Amino acid sequence: MPLARILLTRIGYGILLLLAVLVLNFTLISIAPGDIADSIAGDMGGADASVIAEIRARYGLDQPFLVQLWRYMAGVFRFDLGYSYFFETPVTALVLERLPATLLLVVSAQVLAIGLGVLLGVMAARNPNGALNTLVTFLSLFGFAAPVFWTGILLIIAFVSIFPIFPVGGMRDVTVEGGWLAQALDIAHHLFLPMITLASIYIALYSRLARAAMQEVLGADYVRTARAKGVPERTVLYKHALRNALGPVVTVAGLQFASVISGAVVVEAVFSWPGLGTLALQSILARDTPTIMGILFFSSLVVIVFNILTDIVLRMVDPRIKGG
């Protein structure tokens, strides 16, 4: 099957998944006790039944479930995810404003984790008795067992009181002036600690995976063939072996995007990073359901897009993968 058709199938399937996410969220919200009208009324410090009924009518909450669902879905196709009464902004605008910060955190942490993890894994696989191998084992235990907020808090404590070179909160410093480069450097400066914190979980995972895959691949017959051709060891490692070992790492990394976004929610809370996670927390505490749904929708969309991208990368790495 040509790549274009596989991609189209994937995208179509992704849209179906998104619709399923919408239906699930909508159902959950409608079976949950209380609704927006109650929250708004609560915000106003209590209201009588007629006011609540009026709010219900304004938000369409007096309609049957299916009608509400239909209206919502129809809105989504026009990129209209409703209106947040709490932030007094359309949800789409609200989410899109916060999305780049989360994407920056998630993607940079993934790139760092994959890069460093693979590098550590390769070097550890090369020398099974070396210190690096022990380091990978310890890292992988630490990465799985350490709660991500704990890692973040330890880093904050360390960088505030011992080694104050990185900011521990927010995404930019309003006092920084200058062109885009100065701004970008400022963001990178703020990004460092959250990125390290989030990546710590995945560096562990990927280094262990890469080590296992490399150990297997290094024993493969084609690696012996490459050596018998006189290929220098470095090229054997990074050209012949690594490309074969990357498959499992890329597959797992692709499956991790949903989990990385989850981790980002916590990391954002630790470092006051102004992304979707902090927005989610705010809107959950405010019972701002349109915003919560919008966040779930957009984060699922991000996961689906990354899954499709992973699929493409996997096909570039391994020509044996065919079909959808």
Partner 1 sequence: MTKPPDMLAPLDAAPPLAEEAPVRAMHPAREMAGMFFRNYPAVFGLVLLLAILAFTFVGPLYHPVDPFEMVWAPFSRPGEEGYLFGTDYLGRDILAAMMAGGQVSLAIGLAAAVISLVIGVTVGAFAGYYGGWVEEALMRFTEFFQVLPTLLFSMVIVALFGASLLTVTFAIGVVSWTAVARVTRSEFLRIRELEYVAAARSGSAKDGYLIFRVILPNALPPIVVQANLMVGSAILFEAALSFLGLSDPNVMSWGQVIGSNRPYILDAGFAVAIPGFAIFLTVLAISLIGDGLNDALNPKLRQR
Partner 2 sequence: MSAPLLDIDGIVVDFSTRAGDARVLDHVSLDVAEGEILGIVGESGCGKSMTALSIMGLVPQPPGRLTSGSIRLAGRELVGLPESELCDIRGKEIGMIFQEPMSSLNPVLTVGEQIAESVRLHEGASPRAAMARAVEMLRAVEIPEADLRAKAYPHQLSGGMRQRVMIAIALACRPRVLIADEPTTALDATVQAQIFDLLQDLQRDMGTAIVLITHDMGAVAELADRVAVMYAGRVVEKGAVGTVLSDPRHPYTRGLIACVPHLEPDPPAVRAPLLEIPGVVPALTDLGRGCAFAPRCGSRIARCDAEKPPLEAMDGGHLTACWVARA
Residue ranges that bind partner 2, judged by CB under 8 A? 220-222, 224-233, 240, 243-244, 317-320
Task: Report the nearest approach of partner 1 to the CB of residue 77 (Å).
Answer: 19
Q: How far apart are CA 322 and CA 324, in angstroms?
A: 7
Q: How far apart are CA 191 and CA 84, in angstroms?
A: 28
Nearest Cα neighbor of 103 from 187, 175, 20, 169 is 187
Cβ proximity to partner 2: between 14 and 247 the closer is: 247
Nearest Cα neighbor of 84 from 59, 62, 57, 56 is 59
Nearest Cα neighbor of 305 from 22, 55, 107 is 107
Q: How far apart are CA 100 and CA 206, in angstroms?
A: 25
Report if residue 308 touches partner 1, rule: CB under 8 A.
Answer: no
**Half-sphere exposure (Cβ direction) of 15: Cα atoms closer than 13 Å:** 8
Q: How far apart are CA 279 and CA 290, in angstroms?
A: 12
Task: Report the nearest approach of partner 2 to the CB of residue 233 (Å).
Answer: 7
- Size of the residue set binding partner 1 (CB under 8 A): 46
Cβ proximity to partner 2: between 169 and 219 the closer is: 219
Q: How far apart are CA 176 and CA 295, in angstroms?
A: 30
Task: Report the nearest approach of partner 1 to the CB of residue 214 (Å).
Answer: 18
Cβ proximity to partner 1: between 242 and 303 the closer is: 303
Q: Are 318 and 213 in contact (CB under 8 A)?
A: no
Rule CB under 8 A: which of 18-37 touch partner 1?
A: 20-21, 25, 28-29, 32-33
Cβ proximity to partner 1: between 57 and 284 the closer is: 284
- The angle formed by the CA atoms of residues 128, 131 and 132, to the nearest 5 degrees, is 75
Task: Report the nearest approach of partner 2 to the CB of residue 219 (Å).
Answer: 9
Cβ proximity to partner 2: between 225 and 282 the closer is: 225
Cβ proximity to partner 1: between 150 and 222 the closer is: 150
Report if residue 70 touches partner 1, rule: CB under 8 A.
Answer: no
Report if residue 213 touches partner 1, rule: CB under 8 A.
Answer: no
Cβ proximity to partner 1: between 242 and 263 the closer is: 263
Cβ proximity to partner 1: between 17 and 69 the closer is: 17
Type of residue at 47 = A
Measured between alpha carbons, how far is residue 309 from residues 279, 303, 315 in Å?
Answer: 26, 10, 10
Among the listed ranges 56-64, 93-101, 124-132, 141-149, the one in contact with partner 1 (CB under 8 A) is 141-149
Quick one: which of 37, 76, 101, 148 contacts partner 1 (CB under 8 A)? 148
The burial of 234, by beta-carbon neighbours within 10 Å (0-12 exposed, 13-18 middle, 19 or more buried), is given as: exposed
Task: Report the nearest approach of partner 1 to the CB of residue 155 (Å).
Answer: 11
Q: How far apart are the first and last CA of the chain?
A: 8
Q: How far apart are CA 314 and CA 163, in angstroms?
A: 41
Residue 220 interacting entry, from partner 2, partner 1, none, C-beta within 5 to 8 Å by type: partner 2
Q: How far apart are CA 146 and CA 200, in angstroms?
A: 9
Alpha carbon 295 to chain centroid, angstroms: 12
Residue 229 interacting entry, from partner 1, partner 2, none, C-beta within 5 to 8 Å by type: partner 2
Nearest Cα neighbor of 152 from 27, 263, 267, 245 is 267
Among the listed ranges 88-96, 157-165, 178-186, 312-320, the one in contact with partner 1 (CB under 8 A) is 157-165
Report if residue 222 touches partner 1, rule: CB under 8 A.
Answer: no
Binding site for partner 1 (CB under 8 A): 17, 20-21, 25, 28-29, 32-33, 141-142, 144-150, 153-154, 156-157, 160-161, 255, 258-259, 261-263, 265-266, 269, 277, 280-281, 284-285, 287, 292, 295-296, 299-300, 303-304, 307
